[in-house]
Amino acid sequence: MKDTNEFSEKTKKNLMLRAAHRCSLPNCRKLTIRPHSDGVNAVITGRAAHICGKAPNSARYLATQTPEERSSQSNGIWVCGDDHDGIDKDELKYPVEVLLDWKAKHELWVGQEDLVPKLPWFKLTTFNGLALPSNGSFSVSGSDNIRFRDHELTLTASSRHELVDLHLRIQFPERIVSCEVGSQVAGNEIYARPDRIQFVASFTGGGQVERIGELPPTNLWVITIARLLTNRPICLRLRSIEFEESSSFQKSITGRPDHCYTHIIGKYLYEDRQQYFEREFVAVITVDKGRSFAIHPSEEPGIRPLIVSHST
């Protein structure tokens, strides 16, 4: 006789597909499908578990439910074989509210295509004029206005994942004279510094090495950001000065975005199932004739698991 409390094939399939063939338990999310060794078929290793049990002696059984309610899609959750056994036997560890919450969160996770976080979103804006400090006096000459340019670089986490340990290496189209953090979350650590080659004097005998004068600004900078939270963009204010000596350099990056070699190379970590993964990316910076900068992110597939212990 047909068990009217059991899920129909259609319901099982819907649960399986809505879970994207993955276990719905947040610390598992194991794939529940694999290729059959016959080279043709697939083996489904997951199962639809009852949230409220289907028989009087089963976990979370609710006597007031009708067979239709018991076998409805809303009473099911897609899980791997191992977790199915646990869910069936331990209602203290897996109460109804917890299973419903995990199911909803898992479907949300699948729906946002967030199995791998999207790359951070960059925006680079060049201002028409110099930004004045909010306090204190500041004088600007006409030549300053011509030589300097102010830019704003905004980084936004474009998916639900928090990105950690961002490391950006910028090769800017002009020398950067200053870099300030325009907005940041308290407790976040953001550092920006010129990425200089350290020249080491080599000589024999005694002597003294002395640096004379200030080092000129460089267009190579390193920026590190401890964490980039969802909906909390980080904004950096950059001031650049035109390369005086290299009109050829300017020409090579103008109008040739496909061959442009000014860029941001970066990497960051994200957490999934208590493990950290590293992703790398490149974003190309272009300049137009009016020295307005723009940024063109391009995805670089560079995902690899890292041996990083999970801090709890």
Among 20, 23, 179, 225, binds Zn ion (CB under 5 A): 23
Q: Report the residue number, 60 or 84, with the smaller CB distance to Zn ion.
A: 84
DSSP string for 98-146: HHHHHHHHHHHHHHTT-SSPPPPEEEEEE-SSPPPPSSS-----HHHHH
Among 80, 179, 228, 285, binds Zn ion (CB under 5 A): 80
Nearest to 235 by CA among 220, 219, 223, 249: 223
Note whether 14 and 71 are within 8 A (CB): no
The least distance separating Zn ion from the CB of residue 26, rounded to whole angstroms, comes to 10
The least distance separating Zn ion from the CB of residue 45, rounded to whole angstroms, comes to 10
Q: Report the residue number, 94 or 268, with the smaller CB distance to Zn ion.
A: 94
CA pair distance 286, 159, nearest whole angstrom: 26
Q: Does 116 bind Zn ion (CB under 5 A)?
A: no
Q: Report the residue number, 23 or 155, with the smaller CB distance to Zn ion.
A: 23
CA pair distance 12, 107, nearest whole angstrom: 15
Pick the stretch among 82-90, 178-186, 259-267, 288-296 that binds Zn ion (CB under 5 A): 82-90
Tokens of residue 87, six digits: 């869910």
CA pair distance 25, 22, nearest whole angstrom: 9
The least distance separating Zn ion from the CB of residue 71, rounded to whole angstroms, comes to 22
Q: Does 28 bind Zn ion (CB under 5 A)?
A: yes
Name residue 44's beta-bridge partners.
33
Q: Does 99 bind Zn ion (CB under 5 A)?
A: no
The least distance separating Zn ion from the CB of residue 38, rounded to whole angstroms, comes to 25
The least distance separating Zn ion from the CB of residue 77, rounded to whole angstroms, comes to 11
Q: Does 44 bind Zn ion (CB under 5 A)?
A: no
Among 16, 48, 49, 83, binds Zn ion (CB under 5 A): 83
Q: Please report where in the chains the tokens 């950006």 appear, as a residue.
A: 168
Instruction: List, in order, residues 6 or more apart from 186 with CB less than 8 Å away.
Output: none
The least distance separating Zn ion from the CB of residue 272, rounded to whole angstroms, comes to 14
Contact residues: Zn ion, CB under 5 A: 23, 25, 28, 30, 80, 83
